[in-house]
Structure 1
Amino acid sequence: MQQEKISEALKTALADSRLQGTHISLYLAILTIWEEKNFKVEFFSCRKNIMTRSKIRSFSTYHVKIRDLVDWGYISYLPSYHPLEGSKIALIQLSESKKAYQK
């Protein structure tokens, strides 16, 4: 069931013309972390881990793309300014994301 959600999330992201390769890479990294965290509604991950997985090396690019994913309804993101605590991330329900994209 959860694998179907990942598949649906990727299909939705790939169909969204606003997303560039870096958005897709970042979103895929977040999806893999979500899977590792046993599909919890909210989970924590540090910026370094997400950047490494998504192959994004620029802090500026990372923050711009995260902001886009938040603004476009793909994720909820609450940054942590503590190096050992991760930022709080939640995936927005895909049905909500699709509605926002179709407007």
Structure 2
Amino acid sequence: MNYNKHLTAFYEKVAQDNTLNPSHISLYLALFQFWNFSRFRNPVSISRDEVMRISKIRSKATYHKCLKNLHSSGYIDYQPSYNPFQGSQVMMLEFTDELKPVRKNREIGM
């Protein structure tokens, strides 16, 4: 997994997605950090309190809404545990295949 290509593809995908707000992006980047710490192995076990702390999201309602939106929009695969002693599982999905080169327009006659 190429760290730079993944984040570049993520930001390109986010730029085209008008349904996401800064809380979604912050949450995704916190989840990405957990994935990074686990050496990019899927799924990643997460702790709500830790993810909320890293993402700077203070409301549990906002946290859960954003997590479900990221799941339904195809950014992550979220599997809640419903067990307070066991972390939920998040599978980070790869976007590098969606990267398309952007061509620069050349000015003619200069």
TM over 0.5: yes
RMSD: 2.1
Contact conserved, 1:46 with 1:84, CA < 8 A, in 2? no
Contact 1:72 1:97 (C-alpha < 8 Å) held by counterparts = no
Does residue 20 in structure 1 map to residue 21 in structure 2?
yes
Deviations 1:56-78 (A, max 9, x none): 11111111111111111111111
Contact 2:29-2:55 at 8 Å conserved across structures:
yes
Q: Which moved more, 1:54-63 or 1:12-21?
A: 12-21
| Structure 2 partner of 1:84 | 85
Normalising by the residue count of structure 1, what TM-score does the alignment of the two structures yield?
A: 0.82
Counting only pairs closer than 5 Å after superposition, residues 61-100 of structure 1 correspond to structure 2 as 61-94=62-95
The percentage of counterpart residues that share the same residue type is 33
Q: 1:50 to 1:97 in 2, by over 3 A?
A: farther
Give 3-state SS (helix, strand or coil) of 1:93's partner: coil
1:2–1:39: 8 Å Cα contact kept in structure 2? Answer: no
Higher helix share: 1
Deviation at 1:95, TM superposition (A): 6.3
Name the counterpart of 2:9: 8
Gaps of 5+ in 1: 99-103
Which amino acid in structure 1 is aligned with residue 46 of structure 2? Answer: S
Structure 1, residues 30-82: CA drift from partner, whole Å, max 9, x if none? Answer: 11111111001211111111111111111111111111111111111111222
What stretches of structure 2 of length at least 5 have no aligned partner? 100-110
What is the distance in 1 between the residues matched to 2:9 and 2:96? 10
Kindly provide the amino acid, as one letter, of the partner of residue 6 in structure 1.
L
- Structure 2 contact 6–94 (Cα < 8 Å) conserved: no
Counterpart of 2:31?
A: 30
Count of matched residue pairs: 98
